């Protein structure tokens, strides 16, 4: 987070855009950032992605295959790749299947910041048809790449971090069992943490359901991985019980 807040996106725009034939748009984008006070952090990343998407649409080329987008998406700067993830996430000319196909690269990025932006950029699109999204992501939790598995879980967290809550999953967390069950004993701590946090989110509105699920998992999956997930999942429940004594 300190790194994100320290990035000067206006300076980065001045350096990067001329190299991808968008130098003429630097004053426009810098002006937008200054006008809205979005010069750093999440607000800047989203706004730049939004403005770049509008610019790319004017070219008439399909966004995801344009040479400009590909240059940005493969840039050595993780901040520039974050802009690119939002270009995909905000592009409503793409179907959900197309968005997922294009966001996958960012979900598997080597930099943690790009991976976080990837799910944030597409989360709103996933909410438009939650059942279909869960169906599509059910294949992701079976992937050999832990980053892809983690993306599917993190993108659907009921309360999430730095994003809007998903009321449907706060009320009916069982809808996401197709995503949670396959990773209930995932070997990667990165995925375990996400599953545990997902269930901890759910426990704040549906504690009995989370408790029952954890009990079931322990009966069918008595592994150290599952136990670690459950410890994270029940932390709010245990804290509440302690406070009530």
Mean pLDDT, all residues of the chain: 94
Q: CB of 38 within 8 A of CB of 44?
A: yes
Percentage above 90 pLDDT, the chain? 84
Q: Does the pLDDT at position 222 exceed 60?
A: yes
Q: 40 pLDDT band (50/70/90 cuts)?
A: confident
Cα–Cα distances in angstroms (integers) from residue 15 to residues 30, 31, 50, 174, in the given order: 12, 16, 19, 47
Name the E strands within 70-174: none
The mean pLDDT of 105-118, rounded to a whole number, is: 97
d(CA 60, CA 54): 11
In 3D space, the residue among 171, 169, 110, 97 whose CA is nearest the CA of residue 145 turns out to be 110
Nearest CA among 76, 52, 158, 73 for reference residue 117: 73
- Residue 4's pLDDT band (boundaries 50, 70, 90)? low
**pLDDT band at 245, cuts 50/70/90?**
low
pTM, entire model? 0.93
The more confidently predicted of residues 244 and 70 is 70
* pLDDT score recorded for residue 243: 65
């Amino acid at each position: 987070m300190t790194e994100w807040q320290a990035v000067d996106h206006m300076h980065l725009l001045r350096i990067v855009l001329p190299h991808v034939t968008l130098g003429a748009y630097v004053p426009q984008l810098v002006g937008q950032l200054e006008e809205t006070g979005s010069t750093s952090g999440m607000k800047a990343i989203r706004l730049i992605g939004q403005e770049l998407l509008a610019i790319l649409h004017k070219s008439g080329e399909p966004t995801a295959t344009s040479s400009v987008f590909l240059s940005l998406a493969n840039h050595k700067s993780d901040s520039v790749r974050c802009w690119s993830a939002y270009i995909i996430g905000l592009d409503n000319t793409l179907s959900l299947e197309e968005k997922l196909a294009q966001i996958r690269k960012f979900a598997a990025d080597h930099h943690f910041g790009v991976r976080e932006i990837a799910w944030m950029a597409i989360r709103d699109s996933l909410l438009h048809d939650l059942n279909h999204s869960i169906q599509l992501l059910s294949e992701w939790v079976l992937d050999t790449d832990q980053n892809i598995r983690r993306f599917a879980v993190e993108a659907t967290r009921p309360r999430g971090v730095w994003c809007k809550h998903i009321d449907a999953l706060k009320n009916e967390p069982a809808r996401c069992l197709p995503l949670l069950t396959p990773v209930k004993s995932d070997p990667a701590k990165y995925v375990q943490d996400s599953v545990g946090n997902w269930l901890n989110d759910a426990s704040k509105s549906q504690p009995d359901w989370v408790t029952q699920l954890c009990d079931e998992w322990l009966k069918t999956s008595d592994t150290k991985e599952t136990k670690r997930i459950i410890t994270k999942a029940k932390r709010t429940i245990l804290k509440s019980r302690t406070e009530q004594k």
